[in-house]
Amino acid sequence: MKNLRTSLIAVAILIATSFGANAQLTGTQIVEKAYNRATGDDQTSTLTMTLTNRQGKQRVRKIKQFSKNLGTVEKNIMFFQSPADVKNTSFMSWSYDSDKSDDQWIYLPALKKTKRISSDSKSDYFMGSDFTYDDLGDRKLNADTHKLLKSETIDGKACYVVESVSKDEDYMYTKTKTWIRKDNFVGVKKEFYDEDEELLKILTIKKVEKISGFWVITNSEMKNVQKNHKTSMILNNIQVNTGIPASKFTERMMTRGL
């Protein structure tokens, strides 16, 4: 009995401690945990992006993508497989932990040329979709001020709701609200507000899978509620930590293609 009581007290203390620890998290710390969530050293996947307009007409883009974390720099390379007019186009980016701007290149097979492009276009929409380059994860953590608003439960999962306000007044979103799961710090929903602070877009995470021990978002949808069009992103053939060589992220591979 004494042992049981001791155990219960210990569990209670543990719960209280851990609740207390999470309760003390600031908005910045929560976003930082989500930002730094372990995703493996490298990842390969096939991305299918379906753009649906307000009339329900769909356009589909397919991309094979590879990423690798090399310590202070994360390298990504994408090979566009469809539609036909962009087939064999490739895009490479190197993102740095420091404040240095990303390096980005695009290879256009018709022109047979690898061009360095400006990373100053984070607000551009990616391939005509509802995702900007920033939405796809390129945005730096310290570009916004983060504030914990409340806790809320979505689909039975306890979440933090964090408001992030851009430090750049000219940025396309005045603020975002992100719902981040408390158990694994995976985001489940995000709202984007335009320059008039009106709700512009809602990102919904539809499926998260544990692959090789890492949480991976495999199905998400971004809906523009003002223009009533949306983009779904589905990841298939996901492989984590397969040891992709650093030589994959070079001009040689951009020009060679898949």
Partner 1 sequence: MKKIALILIITGFAFLANAQTPDISGYLRNYTGVLYDTGDFAIIQNTFNLNVEKRGDKVAFKANPMLYHYWSDSLDLRLREAYLDMYFDNFDLRIGKQQVVWGKADGTFITDVVSPLNLTEFLLPDFDEIRTGVNAVKLDYYLGDNTFEVIYMPNFTPAELPTGNSMWYIQPEFPAPATFDWSKSEIKPSFENSELFVKYSAITSKIDFEIMGGYTWDDMPTMHVNKEIDMSSGQPVLTGLNITPKHHRLYLGGGSFSTEIKGFVLRGEAAYYNGKYFQTEDPTAVDAITEKDYLHYLAGLDFNVGNVKLSTQFIQQYILDYDENITNEETENTMTFLARYDMFRETLHLELFSYIGLTGEDALIRPKVTYDFDDSFSLLLGSNIFVGERTGRFGQYQDNSMLYFKVKYNF
Q: Where does this chain bind partner 1 (CB under 8 A)?
A: 51, 53, 59-60, 73, 82-85, 87, 94, 96, 100-101, 103, 105, 110-121, 123-125, 127-129, 229, 247, 250-252, 256-258
Shortest distance in whole angstroms from residue 180 CB to partner 1:
29
**SS3 at position 35:** helix
β-partners of residue 78 are: 65, 91
The rounded radius of gyration (Å) of the Cα atoms in the chain is 20
Shortest distance in whole angstroms from residue 7 CB to partner 1:
55
Residue with Cβ nearer partner 1 (49 or 148): 49
Residue with Cβ nearer partner 1 (32 or 103): 103
Shortest distance in whole angstroms from residue 111 CB to partner 1:
6
Residue with Cβ nearer partner 1 (49 or 162): 49
For 129, which DSSP code?
S
Residue with Cβ nearer partner 1 (130 or 191): 130
Contact 154, 182 (CB under 8 A): no
Shortest distance in whole angstroms from residue 149 CB to partner 1:
31
Shortest distance in whole angstroms from residue 139 CB to partner 1:
15
254's CB contacts (< 8 A; 6+ apart) are 77, 90, 92, 105, 107, 114
Report angle CA 135, 65, 233 to the nearest 5 degrees.
Answer: 45
Q: How many residues does the chain have?
A: 258
Cα(151)–Cα(158) distance, integer angstroms = 7
Residue with Cβ nearer partner 1 (20 or 83): 83
